[in-house]
Amino acid sequence: MAAKTDSFSSSHRRKEILRVVLAISLIIVGITHFIRPEQYARIVPPELPYPVGLVYISGFFEILGGIGLLIPVISVAAAWGIIALFIAVFPANINQALHSIPIDGIPHHPLLYWVRLPFQAVLIAWAWWYTRHPEEQPGTPDVMATIESQLNH
């Protein structure tokens, strides 16, 4: 029994470390959307209006999703939002691959742009992982107890 508990604890710890990695990555990438919006605007498909505005919107939601992923009571909703965001920006990734559009600071190699496309599914799966078993997330029992206490008064 102890081995099973240790395995769960180790797996849970790994999941939480990866949650922080994903959250921080999203926040950093989101911030770069505000620092260098013209870089991201290059890959927005030309059919979409206001590319810089779309870059700001996606950057805002990346930051918001990253922060939300770290807050137990809203992390599941944040994870679903991140999934929606990854799907929403996929046309820009396709546009970048089709037209080999470079972004400063990222190695320019057309093959990398094509490899990035299926990696989007990995990112979606990673975010989806945090929609599962929200009751096991750190802080959730405390938050739920506080909510129940408030509802009972």
pLDDT at 17: 93
Q: What is the pTM of this model?
A: 0.82
One digit per residue, pLDDT tens: the chain, 153 residues?
Answer: 455 556 658 888 899 999 999 999 999 999 999 999 999 999 999 999 999 999 999 999 999 999 999 998 889 999 999 999 999 999 999 999 999 999 888 888 889 999 989 999 999 999 999 988 766 666 666 666 666 777 887
CA nearest neighbour of 55 among 19, 96, 110: 96
Number of helices and strands in the chain (H, E): 7, 0
Rounded to the nearest 5 degrees, what angle is found at the Cα of 76, between the Cα atoms of 45 and 21? 70
